[in-house]
Amino acid sequence: MSISLDTGVRFSLEIDGVATTAPAGATILDVCRAVGVDTPTLCYLETLTPVNVCRVCVVELEGARTLVPACSRVVEDGMKIRTDSERVRASRRMVLEFLASSVDVSLADDMQRQMKRYGAKPERFGAEARTVRQPVKVDNELYVRDYSKCILCYKCVEACGSDAQNTFAIATAGRGFDAHISTEFNVGLPDSACVYCGNCIGVCPTGALMFVSEHEMREAGTWDEARQTKTDTICGYCGVGCTLTVHAQDNEIVKVSSPADHDVTHGHLCIKGRFGWKFVGVKKRRSDG
């Protein structure tokens, strides 16, 4: 979460040779964004505590032995930062290559864009490169977990834990390359603490967590975002007033999200807002067909 402790103090710093200022408490990423430097991020989200694990946002800080993560490094007066050096480009490129060589990132749009930008060639690690490929977990009627697409950005864990949902149904288990998102003893979601708020789906950047509706339509080849509409509405289940963004294709609701910048939800919902339409839809489809 970017904290702007605006005490009025502003630090002077330099980004790619251009002088700028930033308030105390800002991160390097905040400054990059303020001055329009396109900085890739994968594990960072405004609404979550930075975990700084993906390392795709690294920048070169004069005087530092290693590169530093822009998303979590707080600015100090006099910092000289390079975001476009060959050293930075090489690190960002290879981080993207590491991920794309081991994970199915075909649905991670922003990552695809950054891979093009940095000229990433994940195939350079060979056809035998180890991957996280595994069967999709389909254990409930609402959403699927396809961990072949998981880049381990920790966002779902944070959204399920103290940053939003406070349910703690999932956590990172295992170690090293075998580290993965899991429930206790890998039990299915119906046996876990999960309350199907879908907040993890909302923050997942790679499509690893997906509505069953979307998963089935993609499998059937009928998912087509070009034909979809998005309509904002207020959830009618209770008095909180969450904004729902209803995604529909051919007049059928296919999923529900909530804007991350909404000051009530911060993108987070509960089962009723997120999945309540499902029951309407299910009935409708049944009577239709």
Partner 1 sequence: MDLHHLTDEPTAEERAAVDALLGPYLENGVSGREARSQRHLLLPALHAVADRVGWVSRGALGYICRRLTVPPADAFGVVSFYDLLSTEPLPPLTVRICDDVACMAAGCDALIGDVEKRFGPEGASNSGAAWLRSPCLGLCEQAPAALLTSAGVKPRVAALAPAALASIEAALANSAEAALGNSAGIDVDEPCSLPQAGEPQLRLLRRIGRGDPLDLDAYRGAGGYGALSRAFDLGPDGVIREILASKLIGRGGAAFPTGRKWEAVAREPEHPHYVVCNADESEPGTFKDRVLMEEDPFAVIEAMTIAAFAVGSEQGYIYIRGEYGRARERIVAAIAAARAAGLLGADVMKRGLRFDIEVRRGAGAYICGEETALFNSIEGFRGEPRNKPPFPVRKGLFGKPTVVNNVETLVNVLDIVTNGGATYAAIGTPDAAGTKLFCVSGHVAQPGLYEVTFGTTLRALLDRAGGVRGGAALQAVLVGGAAGAFVLPDELDAPLTFAGMREVKAALGSGVVIVFDQSVDLAAIVRRIARFFRHESCGQCVPCRIGTVRQEESLDRLALAHGAGVDDEMRLLHEIGQVMRDASICGLGQTASSAVESALAKLPVFGAGRSA
Q: Return the one option of partner 1, ligand SF4, ligand FES, none that residue 41 interacts with (CB less than 5 to 8 A, by type).
A: ligand FES
Cβ proximity to partner 1: between 178 and 263 the closer is 178
> Interface with ligand FES by CB under 6 A: which residues?
41-44, 52-57, 69, 71
The residue (of 134 and 222) whose beta carbon lies closer to ligand SF4 is: 134
* Strand order across the 80-82 sheet: 18-23, 10-15, 80-82, 58-61, 68-69
Q: What residues from 183 to 202 belong to the interface with ligand SF4 (CB under 6 A)? A: 194-200
Q: Are strands 228-234 and 243-249 parallel, antiparallel or unpaired?
A: antiparallel
> What does each C-alpha distance from 219 to 157, 168, 212 come to in angstroms?
26, 30, 10
AA letter at 275? F
Where does this chain bind partner 1 (CB under 8 A)?
51-56, 58, 66-67, 69, 72, 87, 90-91, 94-95, 98-99, 101-102, 124-126, 128-130, 151-152, 166-179, 182-185, 192-193
Tokens of 45: 């989200």
Residue 203 touches which member of ligand SF4, partner 1, ligand FES, none, C-beta under 5-8 Å by kind: ligand SF4
Which residues, other chains included, contact 196 with Cβ-Cβ below 8 Å and sequence gap of 6+? 140, 142, 143, 189, 271, 274, 275
Per-residue interface string for the shown chain with ligand SF4, residues 127-156, x marking contact by CB under 6 A: -----------------------xxxxxxx
Distance (Å, rounded) from C-alpha 121 to C-alpha 22? 36
- Tell how far CA 111 is from the center of its chain: 11
Residue 26 or 43: the one with the smaller Cβ distance to ligand FES is: 43
Residues engaged in binding ligand SF4 (CB under 6 A): 150-156, 159-160, 165, 167, 169-170, 181, 194-200, 203-206, 208-209
